[in-house]
Structures are given as structure tokens and as C-alpha cells.
Structure 1
């Protein structure tokens, strides 16, 4: 039986572990953990007191005492890891020490002002990228012959130098990861991350 290993620093961007302690029917308690390797595969692994007892392709669901743990992930990290009780209530599992989510939560707790500045910067970056992506997206769609015949073509008035385009792309990925690890989502702000996840 495989044992759950601690999350190392070099795994922070690719591996997550979330835990929850649940009472057992016999009166005891067990620590349940869900592990994902979002850059390696799309599988969630379930552990009980550190021992692996199951795995499933995401979106995954595992039956545990008191309900069901539901797990899913996207390109930028885990999007759902919740215990759902029979009456429909949901409780998010806690990020384990060493994970990017845990490190970000500690930063929020210890340096709330810096945390807010990082969050605002991420939103600004994603909105700038979204505004710049709209004309580029229209140009790409109108370059399809069938669309061009019906609606004509469109040339984006915004032409960015390669270095700036690369910088904005990297900044956008970092901003998307920031939004993912802090469990923030907005249909408008995070619209660009939907396209890059396809």
C-alpha cells in the first residue's frame, strides 16, 4: 500500500494535498487526504491516515464516513475538493502544509495587506490580457474562410511587440495560478483562463 508523502517545494506548482478529519462509525477518527498531480495526470488519489486506498479520474467522487469527497482540477490547479454531506452541505478540505494553497493562506494570515495587493494585481493583469485578447480572438475567428465569407475579416488594431506579448502571457499564467490557489473566480475576470484551459 502506498503511503502519502509530504509535499516538497519543487512540487508546489504540480502537486496538491487536501485533508479533512472525519469521525469513524466505531467512535474513532481518521484523517482523509486527497492528492492530485495536475501537471502529470488528471487523477485524484484518496488516502486514509496516510495510506492510499483509492484513485479515480477527475472529476472524482469518493465515499467517506459522513458523505462524499468531490474533486476536480483545471489547468491552473484544483477547482473543487469538498466534502458533500447527505443533506447537501459542503465543506472544503484544508490544504496540507507545503502546498502552494497552504503557503498562500499563511501569507494572507501573516501579511494581509501584501496579500490584498497581490490579489488586486492579479485581477488587473487578467483584465488587461482579456481586453487585449478580444480583438485578437475576433481576428482569429474571422480568418476562418466560412466566417470571412459571411461577415468579412477583421484586423486587430493592437499589435504588441514579442517581448511584451511574452511578458503578458507569463504574467497571465502567474495571475491565474494566484486566483486558483486563493479559490477566487469571476466569470469576467477569469474569462481568459477558460480559453487557455481548452
Structure 2
């Protein structure tokens, strides 16, 4: 990983110990852009630095003792977990040089700051989604068939275009921040 690759790809690691005590080092390389041939992004699996497999996303790679499951969203990683045949599922470790690894280091080194950033991103997503829904409901309520049933909705405040644009940019940044923390839920889908 090089610094200039941060917006274009990410890398996750899975260290495993075999029954005989030998350690295996798996890595999953995820380019954020689509493959030129297929038009879809592909995940690449490596073992000890050697390329083992590639798969369109979402992907499931069979590995020693289980499966690595990978899924992405429009803003980043939805899921990158090791699912053993017996035992508990756990996430792969982001490479420290990736954006996800840097976000994990912020969370580890500065917990209060990390929580504040996480709370702010959640508020921006909820606020932006709520305001967008209200602005969408107003013109829909003007349709004659809808107005007869529900009445006409008149918003007391109309947001200027620059503020709508700022809310959209804020929602994109907040969704990206949540993706870097490997968090994904209904709020992130509403923020799209």
C-alpha cells in the first residue's frame, strides 16, 4: 500500500494458526473501482503474498478452517469477516497504511475523539436524511390525488441550494467515515 492508493483500494489481513502450529498469513485486496473487463469490482485473496483467487463482490473465499466473506457498499466496506466452520465470526484486520487502518488507529489511540467523530457522522446522516425526506414530501403532497387524501404539506423553511449541497456532501463524508469504521446499517442506506 502506498499513500496515493488510499482512495482507490484497501487491504485486510487474516493471520491463522493451523492445527500443526504453522502460521498462515492471508490478505484480501479490495480495489474500490470496477474492473475494466467485467464492470464490477473484484476482491483478491493472497496467501503468504501469493495470489490465490479473485472474485466479483460480494465474495466468499474458502480458507483454512472457514470462509472469508467480503461485501462492499457505495461508500466502502460493508463486511470483511472470517467465518470459521466452528467458532465465532470475527472481522479481518485492516492494514495500518489503509484508510480503514488509520481510522482504527484513531479509535485505539484517541477514543473520545473517535466517539465524537462517530456521533457527529451519525447526526449528520440522520439530519440530512430527515431534511431530504421532508423536502421530498412537500412536492409529492401537491399532487392532486395525494393532496385529497393527506392534505398539502407546507414547509415553514425552504433551504437554499448551497445548504442542500452542503448536506449532501456531509452525508457522503459521514457515510464514508462510517464505512472506514466498518459500520454499516439502515442509517447508511438512508444517507445514500
The answer to whether the superposition gives a TM-score over 0.5 is yes
| Number of residue pairs aligned between Structure 1 and Structure 2 | 183
CA 1:42–1:154: 2 relative to 1, 3 Å: farther
Structure 1: state its 5+ residue gaps: 1-5
* Pair 141,35 (structure 1): closer, same or farther in 2 beyond 3 Å: farther
Residue in 2 aligned with 1:10? 4
Distance in 1 separating the partners of 2:168 and 2:121: 13
State the match for 1:3 in structure 2.
none
Measured at CA, do residues 30 and 140 of structure 1 come closer, stay the same or move farther in structure 2, by a change above 3 Å? farther
Partner of 2:48: 49
CA contact (8 A) 1:136 1:156 kept: no
Other-structure match for 2:190: 192
Aligned to 2:37: none
What is aligned with 1:101? 100
SS at match of 2:159: coil
SS of 1:117's equivalent in the other structure is: helix
Contact 2:78 2:184 in 1 (8 A): no
Deviation at 1:142, TM superposition (A): 6.2
Range with greater deviation from structure 2 (19-28 or 62-71)? 19-28
How many angstroms apart in 1 are the aligned matches of 2:3 and 2:152? 46
CA distance in 1, matches of 2:84, 2:185: 26
Helix, strand or coil for the counterpart of 1:190?
A: helix
Instruction: Using structure 2 for the length normalisation, give the TM-score.
Output: 0.83
Per mean C-alpha deviation after superposition, the further-off stretch among 80-89 and 92-101 is 80-89
Tell me: CA distance 1:177–1:154, structure 2 relative to 1, closer, same or farther (3 Å): farther
Root-mean-square deviation (CA, aligned residues, Å) is 2.3
2:146 pairs, out of 122, 142, 151, with: 151
